[in-house]
A and B are shown apart, each in its own frame.
Chain A
Amino acid sequence: MQQGPVHLVGSILERKPRATPLAPSPKPASGKTGFPAVQHRSQSAFARSREQQKRTPSARSQQVPAVQNVHASALEAGNGNTDDWREQIDEENRRRVEAMSEEEREEERREILQRFGPSVSETLRKVRELREKKRLGSERRETEGTSVTNRGAPDGTFGQNVKLTSALTSSSGKPSRPSSPPSAMSRGGTRPSSRADRSVRFADITSKDIHVYESAPPSPRRRPLALPPPSDADGPTISLGEWAPTSPSVRRREQGPFLPDAQSPPQVEEGTPEDIRRRFFPTALANDPSLAWMEPSSDSPATPSTLRFDLTGAPIPPDVSAVLPTHLGLHHHAEGVHAGYSLDELFLLSRSTVPAQRAAIIGVLAHIARRLKNGKTVQLSGQDSDLRKRIMAAGIEALAERGSVGARAVEVLWECIVNWHGDVTSIQSIELETLDGASEEDPISTLPLEYILSQASSALAIRALPGESLTQWLAILHRLGQHSNAIANSIVSTSGLVASVVQAFLLTPIPPSCDSPLPDPFALELLVTLALASRVNASALLGPADALLRYVTTLPTVSSYPLHLAVALLTGTLRLYTAFASYGLYAHVATTAAEHFSQIGRYIASAECTSKQLRETWYELLAAWMVCARDPHRTTPSHDILWSQVVGWDWGEEVLETRRWLTAEDHTTWAAIWRAEAAWLEGVRVNEPRSGQEARSTALGALQAGFQSGVEKDVVERSHQMLGQLLDSISGDSIRSPRHKDLITLNATAGHASALAAVMRLWLSCLPPQLSEPPESPPFILPFSKLSSLCSQVTLHPIWASVFSSDVPYTLVFCRPLALLLSSYLELSRQIPGITQSVWIAQAFSITLRLLPGDEEDAQRNLGYALDLITADFVNTRSWDVPAIIWEKGGMQIVKPFLDSRLQPKEEISVGPIWISPRSIAVASTQRLPPAQSLIPDARHNYPLPLAKDWLSAPIDSLLRSGDSDVFKSLPLSWDASESEVVRLSLLLAKIHREILCTHGMHALIPSREETLFTCMKVFMLEHGQQQNDSTEEVFRDAIVGRLMDELVAPFAAGTTTMSLQLPSPEIPAQNLESVAKRFLGPSTPFYQFYTDFVGLYDAISFAHPLFARLLLPPLSMRYSLDYRKYLWADYAHVLKTIRIPVDAVLTGSIGEYLWPVEGDAEVLGSYLRALIRGLLDGVLRFIAVHHIACNIWSDLNESVEDDKGKKLLQTLVDQAGFDAIREVVCYRQVQAGMVLVPPTCFAQVGDWKSMRLEFVKRTGGNSIYDRLKALLEN
């Protein structure tokens, strides 16, 4: 080819034929008869000529490389039937020759000889012989093929036509792998399959040759091509034709003798850049980088890194995607030869303007989302949240579309929002905001909420979508409402949305006709969720709620709906009423529909009612309404429901009637009954004459026997036993990263805990009011001592430490009943004779730390009791030496307002308790807990509960913040304590808190070292910015305050335990001063700033107060940032003189944290050296400075020391410092593990290291220093 001259671009080639052209391969003639083959007229003449045209280039492309036999191939291309042709000409020639005269023959011969030379006759004879020989050989070869069938195709070029499946195995070179025609056609993947020469593939197929497999297998896993060709057993099939391997590559392979010799370059497909280069620019470089752009991009096997998906959203492995057949529909809209669609293609196609395509692709995205959520697509693990956002965005974009696109878009949204965390649907009493990690990553918070809600509103109003899509919309709204109170509020405030929901799912025609939809109880669930989210929502939902009476008016048994649906609807409605009642709203319906409610009551108390859930919900509702009725001024509007009405309806009696249907297994129903009865008795106590003595004795008469030896007793015993077992099986880890099983355990725990809490509430409600002493005999018997030990187990359970850092934020919901159990127990334990004051105070202090938002009322009440108990007598009997003066101004009542205000929820975020109270129905702004991550007790949060361990220092906080503290505005008139008195009392309280918890073994609940130190620092900081000139007014100089502070910090001094000398230092504790201070200082003020003020205050007014000085030290440990050391040692070097603290008075858990790792900062080292030289240092500061200087000089203390630095330090020290300082640095010895050597032992060690040091001195310091230090370093 290279030597052939090129005349024209394109396919016309003129080449010199060889002197002896090879004869074409003789073929077995199709028509052995010698007649031309029959031409079928099935195609029109035009079609044939078109075909001919199409076939020509392919024939040419086959022949062009075979330069040598261009003559033969041209002939062959011109007429397929070479033998016939030759015979025909031969015959014609012979006839012509016979017809010629002798002269004419001579003339011709002469002419030929003249033109071709004398040897032409010899040549022609040879050619003829060769031709004969070749024909015989070729025939033999043809007949040898076994898997080859002669189809007798009209073109006759090749007789090899192989059935589709076997052709694949023979041509693709991968016999074991199922393969597809397109890949075989486009060898090497150079051309997209869809662009391969179609004429070659489809031209000669007749209808009998094509098979249609009835169902094309969609999944690549099923190996579609392993299917055998249809047999008769498969029933009728239509053949789509047999596949002819007519691609050039295949042809060449089978052409054998006509292939160019091995030296010639590999063949390339025509039209490729390489082909053009070879043909037209043979001198150009083969791989010119400047022409690289011409190479097809899919030259490498179509970027196997891109993951491709099939139509079910399953990823296709790259090797499979290369060979899948096209009929699976995976090639139609994608680029490249690979089957399936990459994510980018999917996202592109999801914006297609062809609705069908768009709908299909959005459906694929929904599948992908589902698989992602299930963790099935391992290739995408790690990017799932990102992908979820993108898929969601694609869905949202299509929301506004009509028809199937819109429906699929809803499905995508449903997959990504609802189904992603499918198990949270029933979680109602907590916001789920942090379910997907921190708020900035949270996909739901980033949604264009307004748009989605307006779409939902119109979709539900028009109801053009199919029923499934509408249900999905409902679920989406529900999940969004669960997400956060803000979203729930915006759902309610979106105009028309709630109305459409009610209209679409609840107000269906009555009685239902066969084609009208049935109401959906899940819509009631949505309404409940929204109502629980905020008081505003609940008030807004009152309007639609009226219409729901339709489910109340007919009993489920006579309802026109199926029984289960009617029960579900009734339950949902009652739950909604309960949710309203928890804000004190809508209680008037009890009056309005009193008749129907009494019917329901009778139904539920009868054996007819089989739904446990309905029963429980009904009693919840009764309890809530009775609480509303207890104080008519707390409901909104007031006097919505009256106690006299409740008495008239006789709910107290009704509640107890159901008991006979219940067994010991139904502990949740029992709990509901007990709660309702307790609510009744509590109301009776307030509203009946003689504190409801009669009603109480009636109820007790009914109850006592059961608790003595009846089902009730069994229920309590069983719940107690189960709770104990469940608590044992819960560990900290199972809370931190709970699995499904753990959540079930937690749920069961919560159920039993609330049953026990309910029974305690009932017990308490049976007591007469205003008891100051424990009653003479209990109303009924409970296993008091067992409950007591159970509650102490709950209090100290690891669940509390890990629940706030749990992966699943709603585990907090399951802790709420536990907190409730604890606070009920605390109430109960006040009335048990055996519990001493001290024990009760210990319980109160420990349990208060476990309470959760919503329990503020309990916390305040318990705090009040506890403070009442802490009196001078109480303290004096315990021989804690407390001066009498401290009690003068009213004792603990002075600090009570501060602590109360600490426990007071802020107006706008007041979480309602589980058991509503007259106070909570008036003030609660929401009934849902905030997300657990925003409640970590040790971090700053906006809720009064849960408390940090040092919360009793709240009065000091208020004093420090007296400018913006609300407490001072609401102090009682009689309150006239001074600053010192408040501080004294709060320090005393902190001390009592610690002592009592210590006595009862609750060490885990005692404030940590850092918390205590920071409390003391705050006491000192009270003087910051004060104007007075005299130390007499300073709070920390108050003798009692000083003593109490000393007592508080005493256990944390290094001297109290030898553990503090242990090296290496223990693990870094979870808390440091910075994190503790953040709680008080807030996010914008760093602790460093506080510390600088603290040091400045010390410098100005301290008179070297010893505790003040000790509090300066903790941030100087090597665990804290370098800045603290720089600040005190360099910037405030002059105060170092006044800090004279012995080593054992340092407030630390480990002296080692001041020593190791060795200081490396030059500035701080310079400060150490300067202070040493000036001889200002004493005690622990001197120890620290000597340690770090010595460690930077001597390599036996610190391997990484640099000679250079050490030399300079030594030089300076020896030149300028006094003898003592030099001696100490030179003789200093310290260990890295074991016990810290403290002065003076660290200067009196002996060992080989002395000679090493001497050597170092000699080497670096020269003789003068050597002489001076020699005496010190020689033993």
Chain B
Amino acid sequence: MNAPARYELFVLDEGERPVEVIEDTKIPNAATIKVMKQDHTLGNLIRAQLLSMPQVLFAGYKVPHPLQPHFLIKIQTDGTATPTEILEQACNKLIQMMVSLEAKFKREFSFKDVDGAVAEDPYGTVTAGGATWTDGRDYLDF
């Protein structure tokens, strides 16, 4: 009964900023970035992308509380780029990756219509048009 409305998990509040960057005053080239209304899905993705980039010395995120829909990502770079820039780069790379993934997926998916001969069973395993079952033999013949 006290559960917050589901939409609060992904709809930004009135006037709420989706991303907040807190520069770290103690550690050089480090920042904590607070991303609102997001969870592990995005956090983990960004963290993994950041860690694969050579300029990043440290990247980590945490979801401070499971009922509060935001995460904090901490980035430290080697100084060639600020954490904000690196985060932008990482996000761009991720978007590119998503775009190409989508394109690839759509292409493969369109093959389905073109290549009508290839029938797929509901579980996605491709069988050769059911050929094995139509040439008059069934498994009992083995």
**A residues neighboring B (CB under 8 Å):** 1027, 1029-1032, 1037, 1098-1104, 1134-1135, 1137-1138
- The reply on B47 being an interface residue by CB < 8 A is yes
- The reply on B32 being an interface residue by CB < 8 A is yes
User: What is the chain A residue whose CB lies nearest that of B30?
Assistant: A1103
Taking a contact as CB atoms closer than 8 A, the residue among B48, B65, B72 that contacts A1029 in the complex is B72
Given contacts A1031-B26, A1100-B62, A1134-B48, 4 further A-B contacts (CB under 8 A): A1099-B60, A1099-B62, A1103-B30, A1138-B58
* CB-based contact A1104/B32 at 8 Å: no
Shortest CB-to-CB span from B49 to chain A, Å, is 11
Query: For chain B residues 50-86, which have a beta carbon within 8 Å of chain A?
Result: 51, 57-58, 60-62, 64-65, 72, 74, 76
* CB-based contact A1029/B34 at 8 Å: yes
Query: For chain B residues 11-43, which have a beta carbon within 8 Å of chain A?
Result: 22, 24-27, 30, 32, 34
* CB-based contact A1138/B61 at 8 Å: no
**How far is B26's CA from A1027's CA once the two chains are assembled, in angstroms?**
18
* CB-based contact A1101/B25 at 8 Å: no
Taking a contact as CB atoms closer than 8 A, the residue among B26, B47, B57 that contacts A1032 in the complex is B26
| Chain B positions within 8 Å of A1102 at CB level | 58, 60
| Chain B positions within 8 Å of A1098 at CB level | 60
Please give me the 8 A-B residue pairs with the lowest Cβ-Cβ distance, nearest first. Answer: A1100-B62, A1104-B58, A1099-B60, A1100-B60, A1138-B58, A1103-B76, A1103-B58, A1134-B51
| Chain A positions within 8 Å of B60 at CB level | 1098-1102, 1135
Shortest CB-to-CB span from B68 to chain A, Å, is 9
* CB-based contact B62/A1101 at 8 Å: yes
* CB-based contact B30/A1138 at 8 Å: no
Shortest CB-to-CB span from A1129 to chain B, Å, is 15
**How far is B58's CA from A1137's CA once the two chains are assembled, in angstroms?**
8
| Chain A positions within 8 Å of B27 at CB level | 1031, 1037, 1103
15 contacts between A and B (CB under 8 A): A1027-B64, A1029-B32, A1030-B24, A1031-B26, A1031-B32, A1032-B24, A1037-B26, A1099-B60, A1100-B72, A1103-B27, A1104-B57, A1104-B58, A1135-B60, A1137-B51, A1138-B58
Shortest CB-to-CB span from B59 to chain A, Å, is 8
Shortest CB-to-CB span from B71 to chain A, Å, is 10
**B residues neighboring A (CB under 8 Å):** 22, 24-27, 30, 32, 34, 47-48, 51, 57-58, 60-62, 64-65, 72, 74, 76
User: Chain A contact residues: over half helix, strand or loop, or mixed?
Assistant: helix
| Chain A positions within 8 Å of B22 at CB level | 1029-1030
**How far is B109's CA from A1245's CA once the two chains are assembled, in angstroms?**
57
User: What is the chain B residue whose CB lies nearest that of A1138?
Assistant: B58
**How far is B24's CA from A1100's CA once the two chains are assembled, in angstroms?**
15
* CB-based contact B51/A1104 at 8 Å: no
| Chain B positions within 8 Å of A1103 at CB level | 24, 27, 30, 58, 74, 76
**How far is B59's CA from A1134's CA once the two chains are assembled, in angstroms?**
9
**How far is B122's CA from A1096's CA once the two chains are assembled, in angstroms?**
40
User: What is the chain B residue whose CB lies nearest that of A1136?
Assistant: B51
* CB-based contact A1031/B30 at 8 Å: yes
| Chain A positions within 8 Å of B76 at CB level | 1103-1104
| Chain A positions within 8 Å of B30 at CB level | 1031, 1103
User: What is the chain B residue whose CB lies nearest that of A1135?
Assistant: B60
* CB-based contact B48/A1027 at 8 Å: no
* CB-based contact B72/A1031 at 8 Å: no
Shortest CB-to-CB span from B14 to chain A, Å, is 21
User: What is the chain A residue whose CB lies nearest that of B32?
Assistant: A1029
User: What is the chain B residue whose CB lies nearest that of A1097?
Assistant: B62
* CB-based contact B65/A1027 at 8 Å: yes
* CB-based contact B74/A1101 at 8 Å: yes
| Chain A positions within 8 Å of B26 at CB level | 1031-1032, 1037
**How far is B59's CA from A1099's CA once the two chains are assembled, in angstroms?**
8
| Chain B positions within 8 Å of A1101 at CB level | 60, 62, 74
| Chain B positions within 8 Å of A1031 at CB level | 24, 26-27, 30, 32, 74
**How far is B24's CA from A1032's CA once the two chains are assembled, in angstroms?**
8
| Chain B positions within 8 Å of A1135 at CB level | 60
Shortest CB-to-CB span from B60 to chain A, Å, is 5
**How far is B30's CA from A1138's CA once the two chains are assembled, in angstroms?**
14
Shortest CB-to-CB span from A183 to chain B, Å, is 79
**How far is B44's CA from A1099's CA once the two chains are assembled, in angstroms?**
11
**How far is B31's CA from A1103's CA once the two chains are assembled, in angstroms?**
9
**How far is B58's CA from A1032's CA once the two chains are assembled, in angstroms?**
17
User: What is the chain B residue whose CB lies nearest that of A1133?
Assistant: B51
**How far is B23's CA from A1103's CA once the two chains are assembled, in angstroms?**
13
| Chain B positions within 8 Å of A1037 at CB level | 26-27
**How far is B61's CA from A1029's CA once the two chains are assembled, in angstroms?**
11
Shortest CB-to-CB span from B70 to chain A, Å, is 10
User: What is the chain A residue whose CB lies nearest that of B58?
Assistant: A1104
The listed residue with most A CB atoms (<10 A of its CB), out of B27, B32, B60, B62, is B60
| Chain B positions within 8 Å of A1100 at CB level | 60-62, 72, 74
**How far is B79's CA from A390's CA once the two chains are assembled, in angstroms?**
78
**How far is B123's CA from A430's CA once the two chains are assembled, in angstroms?**
73
| Chain B positions within 8 Å of A1104 at CB level | 57-58, 76
Shortest CB-to-CB span from B27 to chain A, Å, is 5
| Chain A positions within 8 Å of B57 at CB level | 1104, 1138
Taking a contact as CB atoms closer than 8 A, the residue among B32, B47, B65 that contacts A1030 in the complex is B32
